[in-house]
Amino acid sequence: MHRNFTQLYLHLVWGTWDRLPLVTPDIQEVIYAAIVKQCSQLECTVITIGGMTDHVHLLTGFPPKLTISDLIGKAKGSSSHLITHEIKPGEFFKWQGGYGAFTVSGNQIEQIADYIRNQAQHHRQKSLISDWELS
């Protein structure tokens, strides 16, 4: 090979502070757009994003020069900054410090994307919810 070839995918999930319902419908799309914009600036390809009022899922392809901690830190930081300084200044909004990061095989992309797109249904049924998502 004359050039590098990588195909790296991550499923990331993180929660709001104390799992409070802070990702309200009025700001959900703004938060998602901020995360997608930050990912684009980091040369990541967002496959899908979704979640509930107390957590976010992100499925993305990412370049090998980027660390997972940089990606998640910048995605969380930019969205939190936007909400607390521009969208709802003076109101409480904060992400938890931790996150889950899982590598995804190329043949699992559509299954994981469907899971993320159907968060409301999964949570209504309380099925298919992994332990890491509940913590």
For the stretch 34-73, pLDDT in tens is: 999 999 999 999 999 999 999 999 999 999 999 999 999 9
Higher pLDDT, residue 65 or 132:
65
Short-list 31, 48, 55, CA closest to 108: 48
Average pLDDT of the chain, as a whole number: 91
CA distance 39 to 45: 7
| pLDDT > 60? residue 129 | no
Contact 92, 22 (CB under 8 A): yes
Helix (H) or strand (E) holding 95: none
CA distance 96 to 80: 11
Please give the single-letter amino acid code of residue 2: H
